[in-house]
A = this chain, B = another copy of it.
């Protein structure tokens, strides 16, 4: 494993890919790898791209890759896909446009499934981001699908979160906007050539007016990702936000939140692993049958497992 880490840090893509797979599969050596690479992290610009399906996130990501590449920066992409709760496998989301970059050694695209993971984003998304960072990738783009836990979690991993909206998404956009208003560092109104874009822009600005007293007011960019319109300005805003984080107290605050989340996440994953192991030993056919018949109660069963783990320690 140490050899693999050495090679990945030295720039070997295949070793990097293998490490991410090991981490994604919950390999016991994950912690050891992370301990080794952690001191080398903290240099990359980590961008989160989120928004509802159909907003054009993949096309936009493709243009961001192009723009950063033109600036001579290397770009790693982590595409988080919803995956099947049955098969546990990731969906092969061949994000077709992005594929044209596969011949470019300065671009690394990685698809990760959500795998019914026990905590929001894919198992391993944070670790994969840290790995790419340690291996010297300049820009890391995390693209998530959907409006839900993954969107809430992405701010804990990314420095700069871009929320992509499009005109004409119907009533639910109101709900969406409210939930993501505090996540967004930059707003992107994509498909800006479609009717209704000014209405969406006005609505976003109206909501932003409510939070005027903040040190960073999220800029609102109109883009047409298909032909690249507005992407240059968007990249400027992203870089500007990154600079803002490096200098202000806001940046320090988000760093504190990030490391705190890291520790909590590691703790929770370890505890979950322990609980899963104990639950496996308790999950006999008899117990399952009793639960299904409702003769037994999942709260009592879980209580017994927790007692085995922690003895008489109280939760509260």
Chain A interface residues toward B at CB < 8 A: 28, 31, 34-35, 38-39, 41-42, 52-59, 81-87, 91-93, 95-96, 114, 116-120, 144-153, 155-156, 168-176, 178-183, 252, 255-256, 259-260, 262-264, 266-268, 270-279, 283, 288, 291-292, 294, 297-303, 305-306, 309-310, 315-316
Contact = CB atoms under 8 A, between A and B. Distances in A.
B149 A267 contact: no
A298 B266 contact: yes
A114 B41 contact: no
Contacts of A117: 149
A264 B280 CA distance: 9
19 contacts: A31-B299, A42-B294, A52-B52, A53-B147, A57-B172, A84-B181, A85-B152, A114-B152, A116-B149, A116-B153, A147-B147, A148-B148, A149-B149, A255-B292, A259-B292, A266-B298, A267-B306, A270-B315, A274-B315
Contact of A118 (B119, B172, B263, B306): B119
Contacts of A85: 152, 155-156, 182-183
B267 A302 contact: yes
Contacts of A291: 259, 262-263
Number of copies: 2
A174 to B, nearest CB: 8
Contact of A120 (B28, B96, B120, B178): B120
Contact of A147 (B146, B174, B300): B146
B149 A147 contact: no
A121 to B, nearest CB: 8
Given A91-B178, A268-B271, A262 B298 contact: yes
A231 to B, nearest CB: 18
A35 B306 contact: no
